[in-house]
Amino acid sequence: MHNTTRHRSSAFGRLCLGVLTALLATGGVWAADVQAATATRFQVVKADKDHIDLLRRGGLVVYMRHGATDAHFPDQIPVRLDHCASQRPLTDAGRAQLDQIGRFVRSVRVPYTTVISSPFCRAQESAERVFGKPIEVDPMLRYTATMPTSEKKPAIARTKHWLSEKVPQAGTNRVVVAHGPNIAELMDYLPPEAALIIFRPLGSAAQPSFEYLASIEPQHWPALLTQLGAP
């Protein structure tokens, strides 16, 4: 019995040693895979003067995530779109930041006519504070993060539609104000609250397609305004 136990222990030891050796031998490959995955993560492009010049020519889409919200008051499930008290609200600091971004947007003189908003109150209020009235509410442009898959697909498709469809009026841009998770469903990027993202629409209703150009996250505004010489 003693010899049998020793034999099993020895075999187990050789097995462990083999597994460890294999892990060490493939460690370089695993590390390389991790580095490759890290290298391909989404890189935010900070909007600069050239991007603003493109916007001034028109034909692009500006997608804005609503302003800063109070996570202590989450959306009720099911949420009532006609009752703002059932939805996660903007904070007072978020409202002040949106008002400031509105002044920044006006100072860079970007032309837009259509402002499309999610039906959620935080998105509509954000749209009005930054871009003014009127706004066009799209009931299908809903917050995707808490939706079941069956309801999420139409909301994702609607988001992609507004990013992809060509802007019909020359010399102007389309503005869409909605939610971060909607963008994260389409690309490896969850923009911070109050970020503006610039897209070039490349498709149509039949073949939606778009190109990401740049972002203006809230902390990027001072450097951008300095480049533009804006007050």
What is the per-residue pLDDT across 3-19, written as a single tens digit (0 to 9) for each?
Answer: 433 444 444 344 444 43
- Please tell me which residue, 93 or 150, carries the higher pLDDT value: 93
Average pLDDT over residues 55-67: 98
| Class of the domain covering 49-228 | alpha beta
> Would the pLDDT of 147 be above 70?
yes
pLDDT at 28: 35
SS3 assignment, position 69: strand
Q: Which pTM was predicted?
A: 0.81
Identify whether the C-beta of residue 52 lies closer than 8 Å to the C-beta of residue 173. no
* DSSP string across 157-220: HHHHHHHHBPPSSTT-EEEEEE-HHHHHTTSS--PPTT-EEEEEE-B-SSS--EEEEEEE-GGG
Domain boundaries along the sequence of the chain = 1-41, 49-228
pLDDT at 150: 80
State pLDDT tens for residues 202-222: 987 788 999 999 999 999 999
- Please tell me which residue, 125 or 231, carries the higher pLDDT value: 125
SS3 assignment, position 112: strand
Average pLDDT over residues 155-183: 96
